[in-house]
Amino acid sequence: MMICFCLFLLHFSLQVSTPQEPQNRVDRRAQAMVNVEGGRKGMDEKISRTEDEWRRVLTPEQFYILRQKGTERAFTGEYWNNHDDGSYLCAACEQELFEADHKYDSGSGWPSFWKPVRKEAVTEHDDLSLFMRRVELVCSRCDSHLGHVFEDGPEPTGLRYCINSASLKFVKRGK
């Protein structure tokens, strides 16, 4: 038992001490952002609210996911199987995040995109929870948790932006 615990600690310490940004991930993200256009006008200002203010404007599920970094169960969200044409906005602040043209079926049970609408729409943070290294995505305008980005997506970026449906608001094109 003690040996297993020691091996676990050794494995975890090696994970934490490895370089934070593998080179190919940097290159793929740079490639994903080349010539990305879009974004809603007037949406550059940061939004800052207290937790009580967020509780008043978000549903309990949205608050759990967006503000407490929760995750909805796979294949249960409103948009995982949505194929309509339009834009996906942050459910908290309505900043445009993703386009339907960049959505694909990853088989994961969450809405998946191969790039955001524009580089500045999302911010990345290292996520070392659950004893693994992941890259968390938050809305750059309101700092709400959206999901994670993985390096198993389709070309041309090779990235999978795996997003909780409760973090999104969908607006059909032309409305």
Placement of tokens 């409760």 in the chain:
166
DSSP for 23-58?
HHHHHHHHHHTTT-----TT--S-----HHHHHHHS
Token digits for 3? 């040996």
DSSP for 89-110?
EETTT--EEEEGGGEE--SSSS
What is the C-alpha to C-alpha distance for residues 67 and 92, in angstroms, rounded to an integer?
9
Active-site residue among 93, 139, 142, 162? 162
> Nearest 5°: phi and psi at 134?
-135, 170
CA-closest candidate to residue 173, choices 103, 106, 87? 87
162 is catalytic: yes
Residues assigned a catalytic role: 162
